[in-house]
Amino acid sequence: MPNLLRGINHTLAALTSNGGAFHAAWREAASGERWSGEWKSQANGHHGALRCVLRRRENGKWDAWFHARYARFLRVCYEVELAARPDGAHFLLAGESDLGALAGGIYKYDGELAGNHLHCTYRCRYDHGVFTLARGG
């Protein structure tokens, strides 16, 4: 029964997500700020397409705006501020975002940005998984 309730909650979260604002940001983003790939839950095997607009700010932080596809037709959009720490030729990223109770609450992110590849793990109270993205889109 808990899995059914989580599925319903994710559906409701997708229905209240602001996809129009993400699409506008995607259209306006420079090609180097666009990332495409996939997310995959390591808790239940669910996966889907993932796009991201990633913008570097002057204060050592990055703004990441994600657009995730869930269950083939549902889409969820959300923003995350990521702290970036240089580590040789790449950056280590960390951040968190409260996606609301319907989507699982607070998600924590840890990742690595190296050249044209971004690999990130995520976790919340009942899910955890990975993002794999490549620059371009």
User: For residue range 93-134, what is the model confidence (pLDDT) as tens digits?
Assistant: 999 998 777 777 899 999 999 999 999 999 998 899 999 999
Q: How far apart are CA 111 and CA 84, in angstroms?
A: 9
Question: For tokens 């280590």, what's the residue?
Answer: 92
Report residue 16's pLDDT band, with 50, 70 and 90 as the boundaries: very low
Q: How far apart are CA 125 and CA 123, in angstroms?
A: 7
Torsion angle of the four alpha carbons 35, 41, 42, 44, in this order, in degrees rounded to the nearest 10: -160
Question: Which tens digit of pLDDT belongs to each residue from 47-65?
Answer: 999 999 999 998 889 999 9
- Quick one: tokens of 109? 């992110």
Count Cβ atoms within 10 A of the Cβ of residue 86 and give its class: 0-12 exposed, 13-18 middle, 19 or more buried: exposed
pLDDT reported for residue 18: 60
pLDDT reported for residue 7: 47
Average pLDDT over residues 4-16: 42
